[in-house]
Amino acid sequence: MRPVIGITTYVEPATWGVWHDLATALVPHDYVAAVTGAGGRAVLLPPDDLDADVIGVLDGLVLSGGADLDPELYGAEPGPLTVTRPERDSAEVLLARAALEADLPVLGVCRGMQLLAVAAGGSLHQHLPDVLGHEGHRPAPAVYGRQEAIFAPGSRVAALMGDDRVVQCYHHQGVADAGSLRVTGLAEDGAVEAVEDPARSFVLGVQWHPEVVRDKRLFGALTAAASARKATDKTAHKAKSEAAGDPMG
């Protein structure tokens, strides 16, 4: 069976048929296609901050992109250009922390990388052009910026990306402090491009958008880690059942 990969969703007004501007839980299909193409079974997760019990039925998690995180999450006041989605923030911080605690394989994309950093005790730059002095990471509406990343030798992301260091990004916020995570990728201007947790089975955040190009290196690594977890859980369940005398396992 394919590993079940949860993908967090946006909540945005959407229009289809005769219905206009309905609040809708949605996600760009690129994420689903990237998970499916890498051998996973994509399941969409709408915001739900009642609990993080869904972690128990997932084999892996994609924290998707989207709007800015609420600066209150890292003890700051909102800047004039910060645009948040509180319903996502409360649900996804809960989910991310539960996933880290359970050592669930996680891939964070753009906002998802920033969420991982904040969930791990870090903080963000609310508007990178104020820090970097240029708009290169989001050059124009709906136009991806191209950055050449520098990856830490020996890191997971360096092994996955190899010599391919040009990435497509679209963001105006960035990681200022990665908390307990390790920064393993930087743009040439110093902006954080990748974070990971070497102590866990698979926790990787990237500031760019690998789903757009269906990058099987990153999504394949996630599904491989999720498949390994699924196999381990199945073996443990069978051993527990046999110990309890259940002939059906």
Torsion of CA 168, 173, 176, 178, to 10 degrees: -60
pLDDT at position 232, please?
Answer: 82
Q: Answer yes or no: 211 catalytic.
A: yes
pLDDT at position 247, please?
Answer: 57
Phi, psi of 185 (to 5 degrees): -150, 135
Give me the number of domains the chain comprises: 1
Phi, psi of 137 (to 5 degrees): -85, -10
Quote the CA–CA distance of 98 and 94 in Å, as a whole number.
6
Domain that holds residue 99: 4-243
Catalytic residue among 125, 137, 171, 209: 209
Structure tokens at 224: 């491989």
Across 93-108, average pLDDT: 97
Across 113-118, average pLDDT: 98
DSSP summary character for residue 17: T
Q: Is residue 235 in some structural domain? A: yes
Quote the CA–CA distance of 16 and 86 in Å, as a whole number.
25
* Residue 177: strand, helix, or coil: strand
Q: State pLDDT tens for residues 196-249.
A: 999 999 999 999 999 999 999 999 999 999 999 999 876 665 555 556 666 555
* Cross-strand partners of 22: 14
60 pLDDT more than 70: yes
Q: Is residue 249 in some structural domain? A: no
Q: Is residue 101 in some structural domain? A: yes
Contact 204, 108 (CB under 8 A): yes
Q: Answer yes or no: 127 catalytic.
A: no
Q: State pLDDT tens for residues 7-55.
A: 999 999 999 999 999 999 999 999 999 999 999 999 999 999 999 999 9
Phi, psi of 11 (to 5 degrees): -125, 105
Q: Is residue 94 in some structural domain? A: yes
Q: Is residue 248 in some structural domain? A: no
Question: How many residues are present in the chain?
Answer: 249
Q: State pLDDT tens for residues 140-198.
A: 999 999 999 999 999 999 999 999 999 999 999 999 999 999 999 999 999 999 999 99
pLDDT at position 237, please?
Answer: 54
CATH code, 74: 3.40.50.880
pLDDT at position 233, please?
Answer: 75
**Dihedral sign, CA of 56, 57, 59, 60?**
negative
Catalytic residue among 92, 110, 125, 169: 110
Instruction: Supply angle C-alpha 34, 168, 39, rounded to 5.
Output: 15
Q: Is residue 56 in some structural domain? A: yes
Structure tokens at 182: 């390790």
CA distances from 245 to 52, 232, 238, 239 (A): 31, 20, 11, 10
pLDDT at position 235, please?
Answer: 65
Within 10 angstroms of residue 116's Cβ, the number of other Cβ atoms is 30
Q: Is residue 104 in some structural domain? A: yes
Residue with the bigger pLDDT between 124 and 237: it is 124
Structure tokens at 8: 């967090």
Average pLDDT, the chain: 94
Q: Answer yes or no: 209 catalytic.
A: yes
Q: Is residue 193 in some structural domain? A: yes
